[in-house]
Structure 1
Amino acid sequence: MPLHPVHAPEGRNTPMPISGIHRVNGHAMQPPWPDGMEEIVLGLGCFWGAERLFWQQPGVHVTAVGYAGGATPNPTYRETCTGLTGHAEVVRVVFDPTVVDRETLLRLFWEAHDPTQGDRQGNDIGPQYRSLILTTTPAQQAAAERSREAYQRALSRAGKGTITTGIEPLTTFYYAEEAHQQYLAKHPGGYCGLRGTGVGCPIG
């Protein structure tokens, strides 16, 4: 269930204004999507590097960064970074399942970060950096749960810890500010906090 901190910021009714056009591939970042596309929302720490990981994947139609899993409507980056909104930094991934299957995307997700750290990724500390999978179909939910089980077995064999990743249906995705969209395309030398465990995920 979404987190509802006692002192969550009130937020706002108006979404963050964004260009709506993906800086890298020129596709629309807002629905409706082309026929046949699927959408999944993934949180794996700071969303800058995470978004680049997925826009580079063949079969991904478009990506966008934003906030999800919490209580505050249309939060700002500053509000989310307080940890009080309940939201995680996430990437919306819209993909063509005839080109890339959900298992491949889930394998990328698991291998790109350390899902055993709870409310942090490395030096990025707070619930906004927690590991999270937000699904849009029952098939995605089932696939995500199976992948978590498979990766936990792999991590356990490697002497690693217990996965803390939340898996739940998506309620609402809130776009982050324009400055954060495709950040590493705008700032190629910018910060990327992605650090995996070095353990492969046996799916996809």
Structure 2
Amino acid sequence: MFLHRRTPQLPTPEQALRGRPEPAFGVPERHTVLDTPLLGPYPEGLRVADFGLGCFWGAERTFWQTEGVWTTLVGYQGGYTEHPTYEEVCSGLTGHTEAVRVVYDPERVSYESLLKLFWESHDPTQGFRQGNDVGTQYRSAVYVHDPAQAAAAERSRDAYQQVLTAAGLGTITTEVLPAEGRTFYPAEGPHQQYLDKNPNGYCGIGGTGVSCPVGVAPAEG
């Protein structure tokens, strides 16, 4: 009955699928475009950012094309089910959203710049959807790894809300939450760098057309 609700709704921990103690599949070792390892540990000095902005196929490409990004991978985050599969996430019964992990060099690209790209690459006011993609797995999210990321994400969100409101658009629904306790589970191999393997595949990325202000968050120290 849960699957047939007209309006998507996040499950409670009790409703969520149990998952499994180990992954049900393997993950490729290297990025098909950047030729860098997908899984950590990553080289010293690199930092990690996690974003959810709708279907992760197009979202990942947006970030891997960005100067200063060392590697990207897609996965599931923010829910309850351990080591979920794509089909389980799409059921709405895991609580996860489709996410992109961005490993970047802060000497070449700032977290603030990644946030600007994040806000402008989707519509963060749509709740459990992006365009025609409807479901809790398409919700907007930023999972922050330290207090500096949290402050930057919150300040950029508040600044972007001001320009969205001025443009007559709605309220941002993006969840800004600590990555700690919200494990990033890598997705299956076919989903990694999907649009490199399928150049004419579905993208799903589309923003509001409203630019996010720059200089709204302190640079990382």
TM-score range relative to shorter protein = over 0.9
Q: Is the 8 A contact 1:48 1:180 kept in 2?
A: yes
Asked if 1:41 corresponds to 2:45, the answer is no
SS at match of 1:64: strand
Cα shift at 1:134: 0.4
Tell me how large the CA RMSD over aligned residues is: 1.2
CA contact under 8 A between 2:143 and 2:177: conserved in structure 1?
Answer: yes
Q: Distance in 1 between matches of 2:11 and 2:111?
A: 26
Confirm or deny that 1:194 pairs with 2:202: no
4+ long deviations beyond 3 Å: 2-6
- Name the counterpart of 1:77: 86
- Aligned letter for 2:22? T
TM-score (norm 1): 0.97
Give aligned-pair identity as a percent: 58
Measured in 2, the distance between the counterparts of 1:90 and 1:192 equals 14
Aligned to 1:89: 98
1:122 aligned to 2:131?
yes
Task: Name the SS of the counterpart of 2:141 in structure 1.
Answer: strand
Tell me which amino acid in the other structure corresponds to 1:105: L
CA–CA distance in structure 1, aligned partners of residues 196 and 144 of structure 2: 26
Equivalent of residue 98 in structure 1, options 107, 124, 129: 107
Q: Are the equivalent residues in 1 in contact too, given 2:11–2:92 (CA < 8 A)?
A: no
SS of 1:43's partner is: strand
TM-superposed CA distance for 1:38, in Å, is 0.7
| Rg (Cα) greater in structure | 2
Describe the superposition over 1:135-154 as per-residue Cα deviations: whole angstroms up to 9, x where unpaired: 11110011000000010001
Distance, in Å, in 2 between the alignment partners of 1:131 and 1:55 is 19
Could you tell me which runs of 5 or more consecutive residues in structure 1 were left unpaired when the two chains were aligned: none
* Deviation string, structure 1 residues 111-168 (Cα, Å, up to 9, x no partner): 0000000000011001100000001111001100000001000101101000000001
In structure 2, what is the equivalent of residue 14 of structure 1? 22
The answer as to 2:119 corresponding to 1:110 is yes
Offset from partner CA, 1:58-101 (integer Å, 9 cap, x none): 00000000000000001000000011100000000000001000
Task: Indicate conservation of the 8 Å contact 2:31/2:193, yes or no.
Answer: yes
Q: CA deviation at 1:10?
A: 1.2
* Counterpart position of 2:188: 177
On the 8 A contact 2:11/2:93 being kept in 1, the answer is no
Matched, 1:152 2:157: no
What one-letter code is carried by the residue in structure 2 that aligns with 1:12? R
